[in-house]
Amino acid sequence: MTKPIASDAQLFKKTLQRYKTLIDEDIAEYSKYARRVTLQQYGADARLETDAFLDVLSRGGKRIRGALVMLGYEMSGGTDLRMIVQAARALEMIHAHMLIVDDIQDRSRTRRGGPAAHVALADYHRQQRLAGDPEHFGMAVAINSGISGTYAAQNILAGLDADPQLCLNVLGIVGQTVITTAHGQTCDIMNEVVADVSAESIRNVLEWKSAQYTVLNPLCVGMVLAGADCAATDAIRDYALGTGMAFQVSDDILSTFGAEFESGKSPMDDIREGKRTLMVAYALEHVSTADQNYLLEVLGDARLTPAQFERARAIMDSCGALDYARAEMKRYIDTALQSLERESARWTDDGVRFLRHLATYMLTRRS
């Protein structure tokens, strides 16, 4: 009897779970090693820093960046599972560093259902009755935890059991992506403190801060480690950027209109931080003067109340900003899928099916 072919959704779910399980198991083993070595070589104070980093790393989420490293590798013909899981772990470590820094810059108190690293460390300071300012202590040690974690990740990439030239190429790709992401983050921060924010600036943030980092970079890392050439990585670019930009718009929607912790943080955070999303930009151009003034008043207000947040959210919904963001997300997805179909002959059928569903998943994701 012929075995039925799994749907794209079933394949996506099964493959993503396989990748996540392998990455989580690898991170758990690495964490034991990192804690032991840190304590032996640097003592208990450094262990506190390492624990803070590993706590963020262990919370995981879907491990989409690590999964895309593995997918890019396998769909390009790679077969060394042990090596590529280590590479996936390294990118998840760099992501943990990014989250730690992002939470400090955005003044977020929570991350993935728990306290942000700097908040947990500030709480430790208070519990131990240490001298000085708990908040400053928390931020200082959290920053150091991210620095040590991300350079440990670079060491992992440099020491992979792969062709040294490929490892060097990967380090260059990752390094350039981190540079681009940092510039995207700065652009995002600047958008919060100026009166007029252009659509181009917001789209630059979507590409520089999210799309290149979340989708293009991990896919290229996996593909390069499998020996893919520049033509192959260039061929995935339009798909990756379209999907990555859709991912960020979806994240912005969840961050404001999702339930508590659906996006990994409080739904009030983006308004409290003054983040200029596509929804905010659209609303400011399409609401009454009174509502525009209200939005400008509450955007970036650290003392934002739940009632103020609900009114801001209602304004954005009623003016069509939410529908506009969803339409833009669909446009990015359509562009990504068209590119994927044009280039699909380059990769395995299962890899293409996974990528196809990853793009369409943005329309229905809940977390």
For residue 280, what are the β-bridge partners? none
Q: What is the pLDDT of residues 307-361, one digit of tens each?
A: 999 999 999 999 999 999 999 999 999 999 999 999 999 999 999 999 999 999 8
- At residue 260, does pLDDT exceed 70? no
The pLDDT, as a whole number, for residue 120 is 97
Task: Name the helix (H) or strand (E) containing 115.
Answer: strand 114-115
d(CA 107, CA 102): 8
Q: What is the pLDDT of residues 11-24, one digit of tens each?
A: 999 999 999 999 99
| 273 vs 129: which has the higher pLDDT | 129
Mean local confidence (pLDDT), 250-258: 90
The pLDDT, as a whole number, for residue 330 is 96
The pLDDT, as a whole number, for residue 1 is 41
- At residue 71, does pLDDT exceed 70? yes
* Domain positions in the chain: 8-361
Q: What is the pLDDT of residues 201-232, one digit of tens each?
A: 999 999 999 999 999 999 999 999 999 999 99
Q: Are 107 and 273 in contact (CB under 8 A)?
A: yes
**DSSP line for 287-310:** S-HHHHHHHHHHTT-TT--HHHHH
d(CA 310, CA 270): 13
Q: Are 55 and 120 in contact (CB under 8 A)?
A: yes
- At residue 49, does pLDDT exceed 50? yes
> Confidence band (pLDDT; 50, 70, 90) for 60?
confident
- At residue 170, does pLDDT exceed 50? yes
How buried is residue 225: exposed, middle or buried, by Cβ count under 10 Å (0-12/13-18/19+)?
buried
The CATH number for 8-361, chosen from 1.10.600.10, 1.10.1750.10, 1.10.287.3510, 1.10.760.10, is 1.10.600.10
> Confidence band (pLDDT; 50, 70, 90) for 107?
confident
pTM attached to this predicted model: 0.92
- At residue 296, does pLDDT exceed 80? yes
